[in-house]
Amino acid sequence: MAASAKPARTGFLSKDYFERMTWVDWVLNALRVLILALVIIGATNTLLSGKYTLAQWVSLIMSGLAQGSIYALIALGYTLVYGILLMINFAHGEVYMAGAFTAYFIADWTAKSGLLASAPVIAVLIWVIVAALVSMGVAVLLERVAYRPLRGAPRLVPLITAIGASFFLQYTFRGLYGTGFKSYPAVPIIQGSVAIGGFNILIAQLVVFFSALVLMLALYWLIERTKMGKAMRAVSEDKEVSRLMGIDIDRVIVFTFLLGGALAGAAGVINGLYRPQGVNFFMGFFPGIKAFTAAVLGGIGSVPGAMLGGIFLGIIESVGPSLILDGLGINSANQLKDVIAFTMLVFVLIFRPQGILGERLKEKKA
Amino acid sequence: MALLEVDNIHAYYGKIHALKGVSLTVEKGEVVSLIGGNGAGKTTTLRCISGLIKPTDGSVTFDDDVVADYAAHELVPMGIAMVPEGRGIFSKLTVQENMEMGAFYRNDKEGIKQDMEHGYHIFPRLAERRTQIAGTMSGGEQQMLAMARALMSKPRLLLLDEPSMGLAPVLVELIFDTIRDINQQGVTVLLVEQNAHMALQIANRGYVLQTGEIILSDNAASLRKDPMVQKAYLGID
* Burial class of A188 by CB neighbour count within 10 A (0 to 12, 13 to 18, 19+): exposed
pLDDT of residue A2: 41
| B86 contact A CB<8A | no
Indicate the range of A230-234, B77-81, B219-223 predicted with least confidence: B219-223
Is residue A334 over pLDDT 80?
no
* Angle formed by the axes of helices A54-85 and A92-113, nearest 10°: 120
**How large is the average pLDDT for residues B58-71?**
94
In angstroms, the CA A300 to CA A305 distance is 7
Residue A116's pLDDT is 87
Percent of chain A with pLDDT over 70: 94
Question: In this complex, do B104 and A246 lie within 8 Å of one another by their Cβ atoms?
Answer: yes
> Which of A15-24, A340-349, B142-151: highest mean pLDDT?
B142-151
Return phi, psi of residue B65, to 5°: -105, 140
Distance from CA of A244 to the nearest CA of B (A): 6
Most confident of the ranges A258-267, A355-364, B31-40:
A258-267
Task: Say yes or no to pLDDT of A241 above 80.
Answer: yes
Distance, CA of B56 to CA of B19 (rounded, Å): 10
Segment holding A210, helix H or strand E: helix A203-225
Q: Please give the average per-residue pLDDT across B10-22, as a whole number.
A: 90
Q: At B230, is the pLDDT very low, low, confident or very high (cuts 50, 70, 90)?
A: confident
Cβ of B73 within 8 Å of Cβ of A230? The answer is no
Per-residue confidence (pLDDT) for residue A358, from 0 to 100:
72
pLDDT digits (tens, 9 = 90+) for A242-288: 999 999 999 999 999 999 999 999 999 999 999 988 899 999 999 99
The predicted pLDDT at position B89 comes to 94
Is A364's pLDDT higher than 70?
no
**Residue bearing the bigger pLDDT, A68 or A22:** A68
Among A18-32, A300-314, B207-221, the minimum mean pLDDT is found in: A18-32
Which residues in chain B touch residue A241, judged by CB atoms under 8 angstroms apart? 84, 88-90
CB contact under 8 A, B73 and A234: no
pLDDT of A1 strictly over 50: no
Mean pLDDT is lowest, of A155-169, A339-353, B11-25, B184-198, for A339-353
A143-178: pLDDT as tens digits: 999 999 998 889 889 999 999 999 999 999 999 998
Other beta carbons less than 10 A from residue A191's beta carbon: 10
Q: Name the CA radius of gyration of chain A, rounded.
A: 22
The shortest C-alpha distance from A200 to chain B (Å) reads 44
What string of DSSP letters covers A295-349?
A: HHHH-TT-HHHHHHHHHHHHHHHHHHIIIIIGGGT-TTGGGGHHHHHHHHHHHHH
Q: What is the pLDDT of residue B29?
A: 94
Angle, CA of A345, A350 and A352, to the nearest 5°: 85
Nearest CA in chain B to A250: B73
φ/ψ of residue B203, rounded to 5: -85, 155
Instruction: Please give, rounded to a whole number of angstroms, the shortest distance from the CA of A230 to a CA of chain B.
Output: 7
Look at residue A43 in the predicted model and tell me its pLDDT. 87
Q: Using CB atoms and an 8 Å cut-off, which of residues 52-71 of chain B contact chain A? A: 52, 71
B143 in reach of chain A (CB within 8 A): no
Q: CA of A159: how far to CAs of A156, A232, A238, A313, B194, in Å? A: 5, 22, 22, 24, 42
Q: With CB atoms and an 8 Å threshold, state whether A243 touches B73.
A: yes
Residue A195: pLDDT over 90:
no
Length of chain B: 237
Question: Which candidate in B104, B151, B159 is best for mutational testing of the A interface (most A CBs within 10 A)?
Answer: B104
pLDDT at B75 over 60: yes
| Tens-place pLDDT, residues A95-116 | 999 999 999 999 999 999 989 8
pLDDT, residue A366, reads 36
Grade residue A355 by pLDDT with cuts at 50, 70 and 90: confident
- Asked if B70 and B78 touch (Cβ cutoff 8 Å), the reply is yes
Contact A240 B73 (CB under 8 A): no
Q: What's the whole-number mean pLDDT along residues B23-40? A: 92
Could you report how far apart the first and last alpha carbons of chain B are, in Å? 39
Is residue A41 over pLDDT 80? Answer: yes
pLDDT at A252: 96
Buried b vs exposed e over A28-54: b needs ≥16 C-beta within 10 Å?
eeeeeeeeeeeeeebbebbeeeeebee
B91 touching A, CB under 8 A? yes
| Mean pLDDT in residue range B13-37 | 92
Answer whether residue B208 shows pLDDT above 80: yes
Whether residue A329 has pLDDT greater than 90: no
pLDDT of A360: 58
- CB distance A248–B73 less than 8 Å? yes
Task: Look up the pTM and report it.
Answer: 0.90
**Half-sphere exposure (CA, 13 Å, Cβ side) for B13?**
12
Q: Which of B71, B84, B153 sits opposite A241 (nearest CB)?
A: B84
Query: How far does A237 lie from chain B, in Å, by closest CA?
Result: 7
User: Which residue has better confidence, A162 or A328?
Assistant: A162
Mind telling me how many Å the CA of A70 is from chain B's nearest CA? 29
CA A132 – CA B37 distance, rounded (Å) = 55
Average model confidence (pLDDT) for chain A?
88
User: What Cα–Cα distance (Å) separates residue A190 from each residue in A193, A276, A318?
Assistant: 8, 12, 22
What pLDDT is attached to residue B146? 95
Distance CA(B89)–CA(B120), nearest Å, equals 16
Confidence of residue A8 (pLDDT cuts 50, 70, 90): low
Nearest-by-Cβ selection for B101 from A231, A240, A249: A231
Using CB atoms within 10 Å of the CB of residue B132, give its burial: 0 to 12 exposed, 13 to 18 middle, 19+ buried.
middle
Determine which of A15-29, A145-159, B65-79 has the lowest per-residue pLDDT on average: A15-29
Determine the average pLDDT of the residues in A198-222.
92
Contacts of A203 (CB under 8 A, 6+ apart): A189, A190, A191, A192, A193, A194
Contact A245 B76 (CB under 8 A): yes
Rg (CA), chain B: 17
**Which chain A residues have any C-beta within 8 angstroms of a chain B C-beta?**
227, 230-231, 233-234, 237-238, 240-249
Is B105's CB within 8 Å of A246's CB?
yes
Q: What residues of chain B, 172 to 211, have a C-beta less than 8 Å from chain A?
A: none
Which among B44, B73, B133, B158 is the top mutation candidate for probing chain A, defined by the most A β-carbons within 10 Å of its own β-carbon? B73
**For residue A182, what is the DSSP state?**
B
Inter-chain CB proximity A230 and B76 less than 8 Å:
no
Q: What ipTM was estimated for this complex? A: 0.93
Binary contact (A245, B97; C-beta < 8 A): no
Asked if B50's CB is within 8 angstroms of A240's CB, the reply is no
Query: A245 vs B153: CB contact, 8 Å cut-off?
Result: yes
Query: What does pLDDT average to over chain B?
Result: 92
Distance from CA of B173 to the nearest CA of A (A): 25
Question: A237, B90: Cβ pair inside 8 Å?
Answer: yes
Q: Which residues of A touch B76 (CB under 8 A)?
A: 244-246
Mean predicted confidence (pLDDT) in B210-235: 87
Contacts of A243 in chain B (CB under 8 A): 51-52, 71-73
**Number of continuous H segments (helices) and E segments (strands) in chain B:** 10, 10
The dihedral through the CA atoms of B159, B164, B167, B173 has a sign that is positive
SS3 A267: helix
pLDDT of A363 reads 41
- Answer yes or no: is pLDDT of A12 > 70: no
* A73-87, A187-201, B46-60, B178-192: least confidently modelled range: A187-201
Q: What is the pLDDT of residue A129?
A: 96
